[in-house]
């Protein structure tokens, strides 16, 4: 049995994962001293987000360097990753740790999602190091969750599909973004607009929805309508009721509305039926990222990025669960763990 190399997604996350143990800080990584979980000790290092990126068009074919309609569409025979120039130093630190003889096993400790899966596996693919790997899969960074996660690691095959999902998405983004951006820029330049116009798989349809909605608002013409509201007195109680016909209460003719009101005024009323039913309401689900961003924007005018930044900071402190999760039903036991972190128990 040898040492284990734990690869986290970010420096703060790496330091948090090492915090339950006795450690020694090193340049670009942390050494975990032997303990009951890591009998021969371990190393914790990290990416800094994506250490690797898909190669630019000209690195596949020289002729793709020129922005011309003749070179489109650009679709590589096989997509290739390269080290991000600004993160080369950290990549080399991770690579050297992976190549150490005493490191016999790897723990993939990226975020519990598709992008986290892609970030760490891409590093391993580029280094070419092949050693047994397990997956740390936790949704919070409390001390208890970290220790339990390391004691119950997943087989890497359990989350491999997430890598394929993220890889496919990245390739699709490349194909759409690189080709569509060039098409728009070249054609608009022919119309006298010399600039680079960005297009993307998500960006462009989203922008189209915004433009469509803006045009609907600009072309909207309000139409006046009237409603007839009556006050009823029954058994000492007073309530209001709204006239309607075929479940429609809006009247577009003012004179007709006045005639209906005059006809009904001071006329006796009759209760046609009473419906009594018992309804049960389930407590609301926990937030996922999208629903929380929508709520934060509605209540506090936070941008989606600000909400994510706040969540990420709280996640690093072990106060909330992983912010990018798509799920809200699972891992409910996190509530008690977070309660311990905030000095209260249960909710």
Return the active site residues. Answer: 322
Phi, psi of 105 (to 5 degrees): -140, 155
Looking at residue 284, the DSSP 8-state letter turns out to be P
Length of the chain: 347
Residue entry with tokens 């689900």: 285
Please tell me the distance from the alpha carbon of residue 101 to that of residue 103, in angstroms, as a whole number: 5
CA 256 to chain centroid: 53
- Helix, coil or strand: residue 111: coil
Locate 145 and state its tokens.
Answer: 């969750």
Pairwise CA distance, residues 223 & 204, whole Å: 33
CA–CA separation, 133 vs 278, rounded Å? 54
**The CA-based dihedral angle spanning residues 214, 219, 224, 225, taken in that order and rounded to the nearest 10 degrees:** -70
Query: Residue 326: phi, psi to the nearest 5?
Result: -95, -10
State how beta strands 154-155 and 229-234 pair.
unpaired
Q: Is 84 helix (H, G, I), strand (E, B) or coil?
A: coil
Residue 78 CB neighbour total at 10 angstroms: 6
């Amino acid at each position: 049995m040898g040492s284990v190399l734990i690869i986290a997604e970010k420096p703060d996350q790496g330091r948090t994962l090492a915090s339950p143990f006795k450690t020694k800080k090193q340049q670009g990584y942390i050494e975990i001293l032997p303990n009951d979980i890591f009998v021969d000790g371990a190393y914790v290092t990290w990416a800094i987000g994506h250490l690797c990126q898909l190669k630019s068009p000209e690195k596949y074919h020289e002729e793709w360097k020129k922005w011309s309609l003749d070179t489109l569409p650009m679709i590589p025979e096989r997509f290739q990753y390269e080290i991000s120039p600004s993160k080369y130093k950290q990549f080399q630190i991770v690579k050297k740790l992976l190549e150490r003889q005493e490191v016999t096993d790897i723990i993939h400790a990226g975020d519990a999602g598709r992008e986290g899966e892609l970030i760490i596996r891409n590093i391993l693919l580029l280094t070419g190091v092949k050693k047994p790997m397990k997956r740390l899969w936790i949704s919070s960074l409390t001390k208890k969750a970290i220790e339990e996660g390391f004691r119950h690691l997943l087989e890497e095959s359990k989350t491999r599909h997430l890598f394929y999902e993220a890889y496919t998405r990245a390739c699709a983004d490349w194909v759409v973004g690189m080709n569509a951006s060039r098409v728009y820029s070249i054609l608009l330049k022919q119309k006298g607009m010399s600039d680079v116009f960005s297009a993307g798989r998500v960006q462009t349809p989203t922008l189209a929805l915004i433009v469509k909605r803006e045009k609907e608002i600009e072309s909207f013409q309000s139409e006046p309508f009237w409603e007839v509201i009556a006050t009823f007195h029954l058994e000492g109680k007073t309530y209001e009721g709204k006239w309607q016909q075929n479940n429609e209460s809006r009247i577009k003719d003012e004179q007709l509305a006045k005639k209906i009101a005059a006809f009904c005024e001071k006329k006796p009323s009759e209760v046609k039926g009473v419906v009594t039913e018992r309804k049960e309401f389930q407590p609301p689900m926990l937030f996922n990222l999208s629903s929380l961003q929508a709520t934060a924007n509605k209540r506090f005018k936070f941008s989606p990025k600000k909400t994510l930044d706040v969540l990420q900071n709280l996640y690093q402190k072990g106060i909330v669960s992983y912010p990018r999760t798509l799920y809200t039903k699972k891992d409910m036991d996190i509530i008690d763990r977070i309660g311990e972190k905030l000095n209260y128990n249960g909710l």
